[in-house]
Structure 1
């Protein structure tokens, strides 16, 4: 068993999200209570040609452990070779295979959720990576419940993946055709957890401690994965753990603390080597900033201003004005 599931632990994963869960955001979520990290997905082919940009997506710090690097691709042998390269470079705690991404540019390359339609190829990919990593690092996988509502096959896929040597499986409770619309189907997630002996991590619509408690108590999952809720509210991990321990909700995070985290995130992004310049870093942060400010006083105006920022100083000015307005200055 993976060590983070031992002793009846119920780990909270930060879901891998392209363009979101970079090394900086993972650091923030780890500090706020996330237990297990997974990098943004990386292309096996990008790894094989030692593409420098691709390698940046695999970066993590020891303080973020346990952390896995997520790979996507459609060729089991190449995926296995890429996994071994990552292990040699980075020594992650596990390799995760992406069988769930719904994005066209991934699906069109026979990666992500496209393999849910082709179980023999899915099995070949999973087996290729598991064989390449055998005795070195564990391999896990993430899936959706199916390609569309007429082809929900997550239970079958989980059994295949367990047979291939996957040591945990994360299940997002939507089909590929749903994208992120509609409600996550936790009945299917629960069925998956009951069908295999390896841990199943449930993913979908977890945004409060009450949501977490409902799924912990009402399903057979061994942990949960939180994604989009953390984009707006990375405190969700702290709040959820407090609710599990006490049955009580924490008070809302004060606006001052929210802005303090936003500014810290901006400064860390500007200091990182991922974006090159401060301007590029802050421009890349724009969508993140607009997610953070949901629920802030004057959020509509804030979004209009944040979508144009180009420096940390720009964001500092907006934060100062927001807080001054709160204080009635």
Structure 2
């Protein structure tokens, strides 16, 4: 069936029922929004490999309001990636709402997502992201402002962390506030802001949140395999999971996780040739994308991604030394060919 975005249906979104991707006992796998990672190209790759729901990199509401062309590029997506949401951050509910409506007019996403979880200083210093976990009245006003602006058009969801630090874990309280403010689903990263990406995600808190509200809760943190997915689905009340950093190295994780959930069996490891094919394809797609401009800029922007991809490859250390200097697709193709030849001639393959 052709997917029709909610804002384009004859009957607009009015808060009725559960979001479509949670219906009929579905357990959707989200690709977590990651700045500088989950651009339109990477989202397409993950969609093809089994990700169900996409969220754009976070976008400044103020950037949207001043019609900044660079900011607007972050809202780009293709119809093949639906259902997809555009994620906004900011601290003024009225302005956030106006920005959300501009995005809806431009792109007609399936939902708007509000970022209450980003831990980076440049966002927190502007009273955005996870800083609002310390100011629940402002957090509530932002959520309510966006929900009101989008009422009857598209649903609004939110992403949070479990708290600012270990002494102020308030995710259950925040989830109740967000539900009351009109959020139709809540994604929760099971770490505090002060943890950053260190330590372990606290799934007990995520589970408590899922049991405290009636809207779907999506758990995020340390999902890297089918076993991880099955464990969280079995042991918690979450309605879906969100996969982030694991997908950077292994976008096949969505396909692998779904297969394990359906069969209880592991898929065989992805062959090195298939991995390199995807790496090269990603570089070609990035070079063709309008986001980066010249090929050299696109490939230089891909360097960190290439480092992640080659983790676990034969000769990974040497590969990283080469990949950190690439400036063209041809250079990546040459490195891939050399890697495959070396792997084929290694003693274990003779």
Helix, strand or coil: the match of 2:95? helix
Give the superposition deviation at 1:241.
0.2
Q: d(CA) in 2 for partners of 1:44 and 1:147? A: 22
Residue 271 of structure 2 is aligned to residue 254 of structure 1? yes
Give the superposition deviation at 1:158.
0.1
Gaps of 5+ in 2: 1-17
Helix, strand or coil: the match of 1:183? coil
**Counterpart for residue 7 of structure 2:** none
Give the superposition deviation at 1:299.
0.3
Helix, strand or coil: the match of 1:7? coil
Matches within 5 A, 1:213-224: 213-224=230-241
Residue 344 of structure 2 is aligned to residue 322 of structure 1? no
**Counterpart for residue 209 of structure 2:** 192
Q: d(CA) in 2 for partners of 1:144 and 1:164? A: 18
Q: d(CA) in 2 for partners of 1:263 and 1:276? A: 18
Helix, strand or coil: the match of 2:85? strand
**Counterpart for residue 175 of structure 1:** 192
**Counterpart for residue 277 of structure 1:** 294
Give the superposition deviation at 1:90.
0.3
Q: d(CA) in 2 for partners of 1:109 and 1:75? A: 11
1:51 to 41, 61, 68: 68
1:7 to 5, 13, 24: 24
Helix, strand or coil: the match of 1:322? helix
| 1:46-66 deviation line (CA, Å, top 9, x unaligned) | 000000000000000000000
**Counterpart for residue 88 of structure 1:** 105
Give the superposition deviation at 1:251.
0.4
Q: d(CA) in 1 for partners of 2:292 and 2:230? A: 38
Q: d(CA) in 2 for partners of 1:47 and 1:302? A: 39
Give the superposition deviation at 1:294.
0.2
Q: d(CA) in 2 for partners of 1:7 and 1:175? A: 32
Matches within 5 A, 1:62-101: 62-101=79-118
TM-score normalised to the size of structure 2? 0.94
Matches within 5 A, 1:25-64: 25-64=42-81
User: Deviating runs (4+, > 6 A) in structure 1?
Assistant: none
Q: d(CA) in 1 for partners of 2:198 and 2:339? A: 32
Helix, strand or coil: the match of 2:27? coil
| 1:275-324 deviation line (CA, Å, top 9, x unaligned) | 01000000000000000000000001101110000000010010000000
**Counterpart for residue 181 of structure 2:** 164
Q: d(CA) in 2 for partners of 1:126 and 1:301? A: 48
Residue 150 of structure 2 is aligned to residue 114 of structure 1? no
| 1:228-269 deviation line (CA, Å, top 9, x unaligned) | 000000000000000000000100000000000000000000
2:314 to 289, 297, 301: 297
Helix, strand or coil: the match of 1:296? coil
Helix, strand or coil: the match of 1:310? coil
Give the superposition deviation at 1:327.
1.1
Helix, strand or coil: the match of 2:191? strand
Give the superposition deviation at 1:201.
0.0
**Counterpart for residue 323 of structure 2:** 306
Helix, strand or coil: the match of 2:188? strand
| 1:88-146 deviation line (CA, Å, top 9, x unaligned) | 00000000000000000000000000000000000000000000000100000000000
**Counterpart for residue 102 of structure 1:** 119
Q: d(CA) in 2 for partners of 1:17 and 1:68? A: 13
